[in-house]
């Protein structure tokens, strides 16, 4: 199976309004830049917004939370500093419920 690389043309947007954008992160994508130099999802989302709305100049995008590279799932980005502040507070105060699912190859051994 070949890897699908995320770009602004195949970004899976699950929800978007004036304050936030929620996307599906594929396995292998990074949310923020690292030493590998791979293009982070945050930059791809900025490109998507810039292209979709024909925005001149820089696009503001705040990273609310991250998922590790080998993990897929939903990632929330803030489109305004006010939204970022409120979402950061909600995560810090545990107002956001997170659910993690794992796919395993075999049944785990009983302890």
Q: What is the DSSP string of 66-89?
A: ---TT--EEEEEESSHHHHHHHHH
Among 79, 97, 96, 98, smallest CA distance to 88 is for: 96
Q: Which one of 29, 34, 38, 68 is the catalytic residue?
A: 68
Residues 6+ apart with CB under 8 A from 80: 18, 19, 60, 62
CA 76 to the chain's CA centroid: 5
In the annotation, is 38 catalytic?
no
Catalytic residue set: 68
């Amino acid at each position: 199976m070949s890897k699908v690389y995320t770009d602004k043309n195949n970004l899976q947007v699950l929800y978007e309004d004036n304050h936030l954008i929620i996307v599906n992160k594929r396995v292998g994508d990074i949310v923020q830049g690292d030493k590998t130099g791979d293009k982070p999802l945050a930059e791809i989302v900025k490109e998507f917004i810039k292209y979709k709305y024909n925005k001149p100049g820089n696009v503001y995008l705040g990273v609310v939370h991250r998922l590790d590279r080998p993990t897929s799932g939903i990632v929330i980005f803030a489109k305004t500093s006010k939204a970022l502040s409120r979402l950061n507070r909600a995560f810090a105060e545990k107002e956001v419920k997170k659910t993690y699912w794992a796919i395993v190859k075999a049944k785990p051994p009983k302890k």
